[in-house]
Amino acid sequence: MKKLLFFSNNKNKIIEIKKIFNNFNLELLSLNDLNISEEPEENGQTFEENAKIKSDYGFIKTGIPCFADDSGICIESLNWKPGVLSKRFLNKFKSNEACFDNIIQSTKKNSKQNAYFKTSISLTIKDNQNVIFNGKIDGKISEQAKGGFGFGYDPIFIPKNYNKTLAELSTQEKNKISHRSIAVKKLISFLSN
């Protein structure tokens, strides 16, 4: 396998993934490289199902082995939601800051700070043949949004054994511990064997 398609239009995710794949002798393509803008509807009930919908779609459309991820944050004070609806939940607010304030208030009100990020990656090599890789990072919701790195919910998530949010860590530091890098490293290890 010389080429691999990462099924994403998220520029930040693509940069993060390409950095993890840096030392790997493989041409990593994104949807942008192939001028593909349409994406299938992510109507799965789990991260695994959504990742599979996207990796199957990418493989069928291009014939290139394809992997896709679905990630989200699960917050104890919101009954472990938004989960697979993380992106939609964030987009419901007029700004990321408004969403973060809502989550932080909910956390304080319920005195429940625990949260985790989860990533599921689906790799499609042949029709209807998928391999799934999962990554998870535990932590808590911060008392205020901090940091200018990262994206999504990174400014309000403090990983376990850290006192900084993911958005306060450099991409290099984040890639050592993040849910996405854990899943991607499992994928790379699979591809190496």
CA nearest to 78, candidates 104, 106, 99: 106
Q: Which of 56, 69, 70, 154 is catalytic?
A: 70
Burial 72-94 (b: 16+ CB within 10 A, else e): bbbbbbbeeebbbebeebbeeee
Contact present, 122 and 130 (Cβ < 8 Å): yes
CA-nearest of 70, 73, 148, 136 to 106 is: 73
Q: Are 7 and 68 in contact (CB under 8 A)?
A: yes
Q: Is 33 a catalytic residue?
A: no
Question: In one letter, which amino acid is 60?
Answer: I
Residues in a beta bridge with 27? 3
Task: Give catalytic residue positions.
Answer: 70
